[in-house]
Amino acid sequence: MNRIDQELATLEEAIIHLAQEFQTTYSNYLTFLGQCVGQQLIMAAYRICTQGYPESFLNLSVNSKQQLQQSLRKLAQETQEQLPSLLEQWQESRSATTDDSNHDLDHDSDHDPSHDSENYEMSSSTEDSSWFKAPTEPSPAAELTSNPRNSIEKLEQWLKHLDSGITKTIQDVSVEANRLLHKCSIIPDKFPQEILEAAVKVEASAVETAESPNIIKIMMETKGDRETDESRLTRIIAIKLRLSEIEFAEPNLTPGRNKIRDLLAKMSQLKREYYKKQRQKAVAQAEAAWRASWFDD
C-alpha cells in the first residue's frame, strides 16, 4: 500500500509539473494569439468596408470613419488583454464543473444596441466592454500544488474551460465588431443584429464562407417594396473570426500549438498511469478490508 501511495504521489508531482508547462506554453501562445486576433480583426473589417460595402463606408463622414476605426482598434487592443487573462481564470472553471445549474462558463455578453446612424457615436460602444473581464483567480499550477488530490481531473477541467474561453472570446469579438459595423450602417440596417450574432456562433458549415478569411456570407429573405411586396434573398457579409484561419495566416503560432498537442499527449499518458494506480490502490484497500472483516466460524 505504501508503495502505491508513493507512486501516486510521484504521478501527482508529474501532473503539477505538467500544469506548469501548460501554463507557460499557453501564456506565450495566448499573448501572441491576442495580437494575431487583433490584426485579423482589423484586416477583416478593412475588407468589409473597402470590398464588401465600399459605398456605405464612403457615405460616412470623415469623423464617423475615424470613430469607427478608433473603436475597432480599441476592440483589438482589449482582445490582446482578454485572451492571456483566460489563463488565470482557474477558480471559475473549477467551480463551474460542479455547478448543478450548469450555467455558462462566462457571463452572457449579449445586448441590444441602438441603430441610430445619424447621431453616430462610436465611443460609447466599447466603453463598457461588458464581454471583457480581468482575471482575479489563482493559476492552475498554484491550485494543484496546494491541493494535489484529483489533480488530473482539475487539470482537464481547466484546459476544457480554457479552450471554451478562447472560442467564446473570438466569437464575442466577432459579434462586437459586427455590431460596430452595423451601428454605422456599413452592414445594412435591414439585417437584424440578432441574426448577425447567431451567424457568428453557429458551426462553420452552417454558413457560407467568403473568399476572404474570417468573413462569412449570409443569405436572408427580405421583403420587397410596398408595391410588389415580393420577398427576395439578400446577401450579407460579416466578420466571423476563426481560430483555424488565424493560425493558418500566422505561421508563428504553429510552434505553440504543436507544443500544446505534445503536452496533451503527455497528459493522456499520465492520466492512464494515474487511474491505473488508483485502481490498484482500491483493490489493495478492498483486499485489506476483506481480511479485516473475515473471521472463521
For residue range 224-255, what is the model confidence (pLDDT) as tens digits? 555 555 667 778 899 999 999 999 999 889 99
For residue range 14-41, what is the model confidence (pLDDT) as tens digits? 999 999 999 999 999 999 999 999 999 9
For residue range 189-228, what is the model confidence (pLDDT) as tens digits? 877 888 888 888 876 544 556 578 899 988 777 665 555 5
Stretch 45-73: mean pLDDT, rounded?
Answer: 96
Cell of 84: 492571456
For residue range 137-150, what is the model confidence (pLDDT) as tens digits? 456 666 666 666 67
Q: Does residue 127 sit within a domain?
A: yes
Q: Which domain holds residue 191?
A: 2-111+120-202+241-292
Mean pLDDT value across the chain: 80
Q: Does residue 208 sit within a domain?
A: no
Task: Identify the three-state secondary structure at position 221.
Answer: strand
Cell of 32: 501572441
Q: Does residue 235 sit within a domain?
A: no
Alpha-carbon dihedral of residues 257, 260, 266, 272, nearest 10 degrees?
Answer: -110
Of the candidate ranges 69-83, 171-185, 206-220, 239-253, the one whose mean pLDDT is the lowest: 206-220
**In percent, how much of the chain has pLDDT > 70?**
73
pLDDT at 127 > cutoff 80: no
Cell of 143: 491550485
Q: Does residue 33 sit within a domain?
A: yes
pLDDT at 98 > cutoff 60: no
Q: Does residue 25 sit within a domain?
A: yes
CB 214 within 8 A of CB 242: yes
For the chain, what is the domain count? 1
Alpha carbons 284 and 201: distance in angstroms, whole number: 49
Q: What are the strands of the beta sheet with 208-209, ordered from one edge?
A: 208-209, 215-223, 231-239
Stretch 84-110: mean pLDDT, rounded?
Answer: 54
Q: Does residue 225 sit within a domain?
A: no
Place of cell 477583416: 44
Q: What pLDDT is stored for residue 138 in this prediction?
A: 55
Q: Does residue 132 sit within a domain?
A: yes
**In percent, how much of the chain has pLDDT > 90?**
53
Cell of 20: 506548469
Q: Which of 253, 220, 224 is nearest to 234 (CA)?
A: 220
Alpha carbons 201 and 192: distance in angstroms, whole number: 15
Q: Does residue 182 sit within a domain?
A: yes
Q: Of 265 and 112, which is predicted with more confidence? A: 265
For residue 134, give every residue at least 6 positions away whose Cβ sits within 8 Å of its Cβ, in sequence order, or none: 81, 85
